[in-house]
Chain A
Amino acid sequence: DVKVTQSSRYLVKRTGEKVFLECVQDMDHENMFWYRQDPGLGLRLIYFSYDVKMKEKGDIPEGYSVSREKKERFSLILESASTNQTSMYLCASIQQGRRGETQYFGPGTRLLVL
Chain B
Amino acid sequence: AQTVTQSQPEMSVQEAETVTLSCTYDTSESDYYLFWYKQPPSRQMILVIRQEAYKQQNATENRFSVNFQKAAKSFSLKISDSQLGDAAMYFCAYRSALRGATNKLIFGTGTLLAVQP
Q: How many A-B contacts if CB must be within 8 Å?
A: 54
Q: How far is the CA of A105 from the CA of B9 in the complex (A)?
A: 22
Which secondary structure dominates where chain B touches chain A?
loop
Q: Let me know if B107 and A43 touch, CB within 8 A.
A: yes
The bracket for how many chain B residues form the interface is 20 to 34
Q: How far is the CA of A106 from the CA of B91 in the complex (A)?
A: 16
Q: Let me know if B109 and A41 touch, CB within 8 A.
A: yes
Q: How far is the CA of A27 from the CA of B9 in the complex (A)?
A: 34
7 residue pairs, one from A and one from B, having the closest CB atoms: A105-B45, A42-B107, A42-B109, A43-B107, A108-B43, A94-B103, A107-B44
A sample of 14 cross-chain residue pairs with beta-carbon separation below 8 angstroms, ordered by A number, consists of A31-B103, A33-B103, A33-B105, A40-B9, A41-B109, A42-B110, A43-B105, A45-B105, A48-B102, A88-B43, A90-B45, A100-B50, A107-B43, A108-B43
